Structure 1
Amino acid sequence: MEKSKVYFADLHVTMKENLQQKLNRLLKTAGIGQIDFAKKYAAIKIHFGEPGNLAYLRPNFAKTVVDLVKDLGGNPFLTDCNTLYVGGRKNALEHLDSAYLNGFSPFSTGCHVLIGDGLKGTDEVSVPVKGGEYVQEAKIGHAIMDADILISLNHFKGHELTGFGGALKNIGMGCGSRAGKMEMHSSGKPRVSEKLCIGCAMCTKICAHSAITVTERKASIDHSKCVGCGRCIGTCPTNAILAAWDESNDILNKKMAEYAWAVLHERPHFHISLVIDVSPFCDCHAENDVPIVPNVGMFASFDPIALDVACADAVNRQPVMAGSLLEKSSHNHDDHFTNVSPNTDWRVGIDHAVKLGLGSKNYELITI
């Protein structure tokens, strides 16, 4: 099988070319111009960063991608879907506030921000997953599926459940609606925290299957009727309804790959990963820790699998950053990500994505 091409640029600059200009040159060299952007809607999937976290990508990088898409005739927008957990991005209003707070405004990036799954995380499209082992129909944010082209702009970093977060996670988990995220994270149904529940019955009104009842001002969920749509989670004013969060990490990785397949299947896509500020955990945290390795550079490819593997290989070639959680780890798995989060194996998701036909692990690294 022919190797997938992954293009790389280091972070060195000159008086004639700054980092944003170098990123522009990387994308052009990697062939992004081969995509027909003319009058097409281009979803640029990015993580806006949980408020309090400072490791997320600077909005300046997003503007570089936006400007290039516009130059190629496209209509770009930045997007992400709402979170399953409580935080600053659990509904579209708070999500937009967080995006703007972290610098992702139309004025700084040159395009609008659309939350892919709507106000409460319920605006979704069911996408059949051909050959899916765990997912038959992926629940993807409506605005993302409406786009003609998908571009992933990824902050490559560690992750406590999946080993690392790169292109596949940014697309698969990030494009899932609230119900989609619950399907990936959970093998069970949501539950109610009686301590937090105030008996307002808003959850009973949103449930289409009459699975929720309120007795003595406390809600309860009948799992024999519940379909796991997650709408009750979004509507609860006190965050009393919680996802099960009980799926194994290996199956989570496989489900995530199947969701990525649903997003990318039968439409043009392109992928960019910046291996900088490689924090040990996800940008979903309201804090970030010391990077586990020094900054590496910028990568781009049409193949999300090859891109993720190339980035992981590049990180594993780096020395350990002093004072980081990686330095403090007592594990020796010959892999930086597994050493930080020893209960993870990122290769499981990669292998499953290959099986689905999303790309190849074999790559040719081309340095510009």
Structure 2
Amino acid sequence: MEKSKVYFTTMKTSFSENLPQKLERLIKTAGIGNIDFTDKYAAIKMHFGEPGNLAFLRPNYAAVVVKVIKELGGKPFLTDCNTLYVGGRKNALDHIDAAYQNGFSPFSTGCHVIIADGLKGTDEELVPVEGGEYVKEAKIGRAIMDADVFITLSHFKGHEATGFGGALKNIGMGCGSRAGKMEMHNAGKPYVEQENCIGCGRCIKICAHDAPSITNGKASIDHKKCVGCGRCIGVCPKDAVCTPGDESNDILNRKIAEYSKAVVSGRPHFHISLVVDVSPNCDCHSENDIPIVPDVGMFASFDPVALDVACADAVNKQPVIDGSQLDRMPHVHHDHFIDSAPDTNWHSCIEHGVKIGLGSDQYELIEI
């Protein structure tokens, strides 16, 4: 099998080229111009950062990608889907507020923000997963599937459940609607924390399967009727409806790979990952710990699997930063991500991605 090409550049600059200019040169050299963007809608999938987190990618990088796509005749927009957990991005209004607070406005990036799965995380498209073992139809935010071209701009960092968050995490988990995220994260179904419930009945109104009911002023969910769509989570005004979070990390990773395949199949796609501020946990946290390794650089490829492997290999060659989470953990696995979060195994996502034809784990690294 031919190795996938992954392009790379360091974060070193010169008097004649700054980091935004270097990113532009990287993605052009990697071949983004080979995609026909003329009058095409181009979704740029990224993470806007949970309010309070400062490790997310700066909007300056998004502005570069937007500029290049516009020069190629495309119509770009920045996008993400709402979160399953309770936080600052669980509905489209809060999500856009968070994006603007963190600098992702049309004035700073050159394009609009569209929350792909709508106001309450229910605007989704069912997308077949060819060769899927865990998922037959992925539930993807509709605006992402409406796009003609799909681009990712990922912050490559650690993750407490998947080992690291890179291109595949950004695609698979990030593009899932609330029901999609529910499917990936959970083997079980939502339940109600009775002490927080006010008996408003909104969960009853949103459910198409008559699963919720109210007794003595408190809601409960009949799991024999519940299909696990997660819509009740989005409408609860008191965040009383919770998820069990009971899926194994390996199956979670494999589901992410299958969701990723659903998103990219059948249309042009291109992927960019920045290995900077490599925090130990996801940007979904409302805080960020110090990086576990020094900044590495910027990577780009048409193959998201190869891209993730190249980034992981580069991180594993770096020294550990003193005082970081990784520095405080026993180094027994010879892998920075597994040592930082010992209950994770990022290889399960890569291996499954290769198995289902999403991409290759063999790459040629081309430094520019």
- Same fold by TM (over 0.5)? yes
| 1:122 aligned partner | 122
Q: d(CA) in 1 for partners of 2:84 and 2:68?
A: 32
Q: d(CA) in 2 for partners of 1:283 and 1:221?
A: 31
| 1:283 aligned partner | 283
For the pair 1:142 / 2:109, whether they are aligned, the reply is no
Report the residue type matching 1:253 in the other structure. Answer: N
Q: d(CA) in 2 for partners of 1:75 and 1:63?
A: 13
| 1:219 aligned partner | 219
TM-score, length-normalised on structure 2? 1.00
Matches for 1:141-180 after TM superposition, within 5 Å: 141-180=141-180
1:7·1:300 contact (CA, 8 Å) conserved in 2? Answer: yes
For the pair 1:27 / 2:32, whether they are aligned, the reply is no
In structure 2, runs of 5+ residues without a counterpart are none
- Please state how far the C-alpha of 1:12 moved relative to its aligned partner: 1.1
Residues 190-216 of structure 1 deviation map (CA, whole Å, 9 limit, x = unaligned): 000001101001110011111110111
- Please state how far the C-alpha of 1:16 moved relative to its aligned partner: 1.2
Report the residue type matching 2:320 in the other structure. Answer: V
- Please state how far the C-alpha of 1:331 moved relative to its aligned partner: 3.7
1:128·1:137 contact (CA, 8 Å) conserved in 2? Answer: yes
- Please state how far the C-alpha of 1:73 moved relative to its aligned partner: 0.4
Equivalenced residue count is 368
Q: d(CA) in 2 for partners of 1:131 and 1:359?
A: 13
Name the SS of the counterpart of 2:133 in structure 1.
coil
- Please state how far the C-alpha of 1:225 moved relative to its aligned partner: 0.6
- Please state how far the C-alpha of 1:178 moved relative to its aligned partner: 0.2
For the pair 1:362 / 2:345, whether they are aligned, the reply is no
| 2:328 aligned partner | 328
Matches for 1:40-79 after TM superposition, within 5 Å: 40-79=40-79
Matches for 1:266-277 after TM superposition, within 5 Å: 266-277=266-277
Name the SS of the counterpart of 2:282 in structure 1.
coil
Name the SS of the counterpart of 1:173 in structure 2.
helix
1:331·1:342 contact (CA, 8 Å) conserved in 2? Answer: no
For the pair 1:257 / 2:257, whether they are aligned, the reply is yes
Name the SS of the counterpart of 1:195 in structure 2.
helix
Name the SS of the counterpart of 1:219 in structure 2.
strand
- Please state how far the C-alpha of 1:69 moved relative to its aligned partner: 0.3
Identity of aligned residues (%): 72
How large is the Cα RMSD of the aligned pairs?
A: 0.5
| 2:87 aligned partner | 87
- Please state how far the C-alpha of 1:128 moved relative to its aligned partner: 1.0
Report the residue type matching 2:75 in the other structure. Answer: N
Name the SS of the counterpart of 2:326 in structure 1.
helix
For the pair 1:132 / 2:125, whether they are aligned, the reply is no
Name the SS of the counterpart of 1:274 in structure 2.
strand
Report the residue type matching 1:267 in the other structure. Answer: R
| 1:183 aligned partner | 183
- Please state how far the C-alpha of 1:243 moved relative to its aligned partner: 1.2
TM-score, length-normalised on structure 1? 1.00
Q: d(CA) in 2 for partners of 1:365 and 1:91?
A: 39
| 2:210 aligned partner | 210
Shifted more, 68-77 versus 329-338: the winner is 329-338
Q: d(CA) in 2 for partners of 1:128 and 1:318?
A: 39
Name the SS of the counterpart of 2:220 in structure 1.
strand
Report the residue type matching 2:60 in the other structure. Answer: N
Report the residue type matching 2:233 in the other structure. Answer: I
Name the SS of the counterpart of 1:326 in structure 2.
coil
In structure 1, runs of 5+ residues without a counterpart are none
Residues 148-195 of structure 1 deviation map (CA, whole Å, 9 limit, x = unaligned): 011000000000000000000000000000000000000001000001
